[in-house]
Structure 1
Amino acid sequence: MELKLFKSLWGNTLKFDQACLQAKDALFDGIEGPAPLVVTEQKEWRDQLNQNGLDYIAEIVTGGDYVPQRDWTPKQHLDDFKRRLEASLILSPVAATCLTGCDAWEESQSVDFYGEALGIAKEYGLPLSFETHRSRPFFNPWSTLRIVQQLPDLKLTADISHWCVVCERLMDSEMETLMQLVPRVAHVHARVGYDQGPQVPHPAAPEYEAALRSHQTFWQAIWHDHLDQGKAFTTMTPEFGPDGYCHLLPFTQAPVADIWQINQWMAQTERQHFNQFLKSQV
């Protein structure tokens, strides 16, 4: 089994052709991000991906932004979901990761919504998974488990850094619940959270070693499951970003670390981690 690493477009300030070159130079296997809605831009993206030999994971975000507008109805989310899914198809995505729905909904409403979303996705034959993200129905491990148990075909993009801050603790104490979710995980967002936030200042810092190891334990369990399934590859996107996630110095608002350097460090570290995991399976 191969580990494929994707560069996230979250926080990217480069033009798309430059972002592709950056990803290729850093030995990433692909790009993950929302597809443009304009057809000419979609074709430009497709050409750049092909020229650089990069795979693409579509990011489908509904509700107006990463934090959805509270007054959006399930139908509005579904219409937006379908429109953005269609916009990604010209880029031949290997998969799509979705941030859709709202945390304020009743669980029964979320179950109905995801059931309809899965029905739409089947029309396009694109593998997709729903992210464990704050402000969405999968904002904590327990409601996530209850929802997916009612939807056998639903897959997850696992980002447990969100759960660390929601639950105000590392997920070590909740591994029994997380292990029940492992067979549902199709894709991983590799960001390290801690008990008071979704992103440590730098995952290489010794004071955050326990947080890093906690996340790696879960990621390795996912790799083990994917290996048992006979998958040819497993996917991961290092996803440290800006927008309130990156710690800033008071007054100057200077970032305490370089986000792109951190994501490269995360990719290199997980390549090593994955290779060690494979060796242990021989």
Structure 2
Amino acid sequence: MKLELFKTFWGFEGGPDEAAPLVRAAGFDGIEAPVPEGEARRDAFAASIETHHLPFIAEITTAGSYVPDRSATPEAHLLDLETKIAWAKPLQPRFFNVMAGCDAWPLATQINFFARAVDIAERHDVVCSFETHRGRSFFNPWVTRDVARAVPALRLTCDFSHWVNVCERLLESEWETLLELAPHAHHVHGRIGYPQGPQVPHPAAPEYAECLASHQRMWEALWSSQIARGYTVTTMTPEFGPDGYLHTLPFTNAPVADLWEVNTWMGHEERRHIADFLSERQAA
């Protein structure tokens, strides 16, 4: 199985023209980015990714940005999802990474919502991979598990850093739940969380080695499931980002690390990691 790495546009000020040389220099494979609003901007974006031969994962947030509009109804979220799928289909994304729903909805509403969201993706003949994310429906392992039990066709983008933060612990204690969800895993956001936050200052720092190893064990469980399901390619977007995630120094607000360097390190580490993982499987 091959690992393909995608550069996140979260915190990146440029477009595909500016991203392409960074992607190539880092040995990444493509980009993950929101779909631009406005037909002219989308046309320019499409032309740019075609010129640079950049595989593209389209990012969708329903009814708001990363945090949803608390007053938006499930109907509003579904309408936004379908509208943004229609916007992006001409750009021929590999698939859609979707931050959907709201953490405050009751379980019955969550199940109905995702059953309908999966139907929308099937009707448009696209793949939607729904992200585990604070503030959204899949903000913890147990709601996600219960929805997945009721919606077998559900595909997940697994960003376990959010769950580590929400649960205030590394997730070995939830291993059975993670294994139950592994058959739904489609994509990974490669960020390392710790019990008091969704992003360590730097994943190479020795004081966070246990957190890195914990996330890597979980990713191995997902890769094992994907291999069993016939995946020949697995995708990851190293997604260390700004907006309060990146640690800064008091008073100066100076960042403690360079985000692209951190994401590049994470990508290179996972190339090494998956090579070791596959070699060990072959030797077993």
Residue 143 of structure 2 aligns with which residue? 143
Residue 237 of structure 2 aligns with which residue? 237
Residues 20-51 of structure 1 deviation map (CA, whole Å, 9 limit, x = unaligned): 22212221111101111222222222222222
Contact 1:21 1:52 survives alignment (8 Å): no
Contact 1:134 1:162 survives alignment (8 Å): yes
Tell me, which stretches of 5 or more residues in structure 2 are unaligned? none
Correspondence list, 1:88-103, <5 A: 88-103=88-103
Correspondence list, 1:16-95, <5 A: 16-95=16-95
Contact 1:20 1:48 survives alignment (8 Å): no
- Residue 227 of structure 1: how far off its partner (Å): 1.4
Residues 156-200 of structure 1 deviation map (CA, whole Å, 9 limit, x = unaligned): 100010001100001111111111111110000000000000000
Tell me, which stretches of 5 or more residues in structure 1 are unaligned? none
Structure 2 CA distance, aligned partners of 1:241 and 1:216? 19
* Secondary structure at the counterpart of residue 246 of structure 2: coil
Q: 2:223 matched to 1:223?
A: yes
Structure 2 CA distance, aligned partners of 1:226 and 1:95? 16
Q: Aligned residues: percent identity?
A: 48
Structure 2 CA distance, aligned partners of 1:252 and 1:15? 29
Q: How many residues align?
A: 282
Correspondence list, 1:255-270, <5 A: 255-270=255-270
Contact 1:182 1:225 survives alignment (8 Å): yes
Structure 1 CA distance, aligned partners of 2:267 and 2:217? 16
Structure 2 CA distance, aligned partners of 1:67 and 1:169? 23
- Counterpart of 2:231, as a letter, is K
Taking only aligned residues, the RMSD between alpha carbons, in angstroms, comes to: 1.0
Structure 2 CA distance, aligned partners of 1:170 and 1:182? 17
Residue 108 of structure 2 aligns with which residue? 108
Structure 2 CA distance, aligned partners of 1:115 and 1:163? 23
Structure 2 CA distance, aligned partners of 1:275 and 1:41? 39
- Residue 281 of structure 1: how far off its partner (Å): 2.1
Structure 1 CA distance, aligned partners of 2:116 and 2:226? 26
* Secondary structure at the counterpart of residue 281 of structure 1: helix
Structure 2 CA distance, aligned partners of 1:256 and 1:9? 20
Q: 1:90 to 1:24 in 2, by over 3 A?
A: farther
Contact 2:10 2:33 survives alignment (8 Å): yes
Structure 2 CA distance, aligned partners of 1:65 and 1:230? 34
User: Structure 1-normalised TM-score?
Assistant: 0.98
